[in-house]
Amino acid sequence: MQLHPKTLQLPGGFLAAAVKAGVKKDATQYDMALLFSQEPATCAATFTTNQIKAAPVKLSQPRAAKGKACAILVNAGNANACTGPQGMRDAKAMSARTAEATGVPDAQILVCSTGTIGKPMPMDKVLAGVDALCGSLTPDNAEAWHTVEAIMTTDTRPKAVTAEVKIGGKTVRISGMTKGAGMIEPNMATMLCFLLTDAKVAPALLRRLLRSAVDASFNTISVDGDTSTNDSVMMLANGASGAEIKAGSAAEKAFAKALNAVTLYLAHEIVRDGEGVTKFITLKVTGARSDREADTAARFIANSFLVKTGWAGTYPVDGRMLDAIGYSPAKIVEEKVSLWYDDMRVMKNGMRTKDGHSNYLQVTQKPEYTIRVDLGLGKGSAVLYTCDCTEEYVTINRF
């Protein structure tokens, strides 16, 4: 399996288009994209668990559940969330116009939006954008790269990856793109991710593989603890490579490995490009009474802004991390806690070590490091990929 970071090579049978429709404030930026399979494709998707769901999520969720889709239409700049019945009419109109122009059944079009919550969609611009997209679909990878740019909001860079894997003598591609960059928390972050593959995968298997990949990637990251109204991961599989993935086969293992590599790469990219982020922290909790409590402890640490602002500095914030677990539902006994920054132990038996507290700069000045908290209570463990919080996060979000 080969992973090509920072590229988006369209798998066989897929076309793409991106336009500057004027939905984003800056009219020089791409803000709408269409991903399109020329052949019938299966699909799977996961969506936000938020009770407040954007109109496109409400529209696309039941469609994706049917397992068949061949187009993903997306706009950035407006989330079409908290927009009431008009919002749903707008999402449907986006889909209907795409169906009309491409000849694909309406029910096989998935719609996504990302951007500001609560504003009506500028439908004149959006529908003109749909027309332009449908008229310019191309297999050209340069155009495909513009689709990655089109879904960006406060992201500072496009995030995409292409995996290639040999299956039954055929080369299968899994190509993925994603966007962050705030309102990012596990259980589907404010994020969109689109995955395209030219393998042939039955809907039920695709669903299982995607769920597993999402659990091990997007559901293990946290930027700011806010789960959004629009989170969507969508995957289309069109079989154009001629390779078929059957449940329980060696091909499934190879395909799953590639898919997991793609989603984990993209998830990490979201954290690295989180709003104002300067540190990428791999947070491991071990020795919890259960995996579930380890996960809870990790999430309370990663969602404490006192911890996150501390990570933006260089002094170890072991005390703040203990404090955060202390008010979580996860069991902690002060005297049993050990804590490492990379290999440097900064806390033992709930107390700071002299060595760790004189040599911490060799770890904390690095842009990426691992923090491990061992609770000394059992065998439960969890990993979370997270980041610091700087003044820039506030500046971006206070508008």
Tokens encoding 109: 């079009």
Rounded to a whole number of angstroms, the minimum distance from the CB of residue 229 to its own copies is 5
393 near its own copies, judged by CB under 8 A: yes
What residues between 70 and 129 interact with its own copies by CB under 8 A?
79, 81-84, 86, 116-119
Torsions phi, psi for 136 (to 5 deg):
-130, 20
For residue 341, the cross-strand partners are 344, 371
Spatial distance between the Cα atoms of 161 and 9, rounded to a whole number of angstroms: 8
What residues between 119 and 138 interact with its own copies by CB under 8 A?
119
Q: How many residues touch its own copies (CB under 8 A)?
A: 61
313 near its own copies, judged by CB under 8 A: yes
Closer residue to its own copies, CB minimum distance, 116 or 171 = 116
Tokens encoding 119: 């504003």
Residue 19's H or E segment, with its range, is strand 14-19
Candidates 5, 25, 27, 49; binder of its own copies (CB under 8 A) is 49
394 near its own copies, judged by CB under 8 A: yes
- Is 190 assigned a catalytic role? yes
309 near its own copies, judged by CB under 8 A: yes
DSSP state of 6: T
Contacts of 245 (CB under 8 A, 6+ apart): 167, 199, 200, 201, 205, 251, 252, 255
Closer residue to its own copies, CB minimum distance, 327 or 362 = 327
Candidates 52, 65, 107, 247; binder of its own copies (CB under 8 A) is 52
Closer residue to its own copies, CB minimum distance, 48 or 238 = 48
186 near its own copies, judged by CB under 8 A: no
315 near its own copies, judged by CB under 8 A: yes
| Angle at CA of residue 327, ends 322 and 329, nearest 5° | 110
Candidates 66, 305, 362, 366; binder of its own copies (CB under 8 A) is 305
Q: Nearest to residue 176, comparing CAs of 205, 138, 217, 215?
A: 217
Residue whose tokens read 């922290």: 281
292 near its own copies, judged by CB under 8 A: no
Spatial distance between the Cα atoms of 72 and 235, rounded to a whole number of angstroms: 9
322 near its own copies, judged by CB under 8 A: yes
DSSP state of 261: H
Candidates 39, 100, 106, 334; binder of its own copies (CB under 8 A) is 334
- Find the helix packing angle between 55-65 and 84-102, rounded to 10°: 50
42, 114, 190, 263: the catalytic one is: 190
Closer residue to its own copies, CB minimum distance, 14 or 300 = 300
Decide: 13 and 179 in contact? Cβ < 8 Å. Answer: no
Closer residue to its own copies, CB minimum distance, 15 or 389 = 389
Spatial distance between the Cα atoms of 302 and 281, rounded to a whole number of angstroms: 9
Side chain identity at residue 45, one-letter code: A
Query: Distances in Å between the alpha carbon of 355 and those of 38, 320, 358?
Result: 61, 19, 5
The residue range among 1-9, 15-23, 89-97, 347-355 that interacts with its own copies, by the rule CB under 8 A, is 347-355
Side chain identity at residue 20, one-letter code: K
Closer residue to its own copies, CB minimum distance, 147 or 364 = 364
Point out the residues that are catalytic.
Answer: 190
| Residues at the site binding its own copies, with contacts judged by CB under 8 A | 49-53, 79, 81-84, 86, 116-119, 182-183, 185, 187, 224-229, 304-306, 309-310, 312-313, 315, 318-320, 322-327, 331-335, 347, 349-352, 389-391, 393-395, 397-399
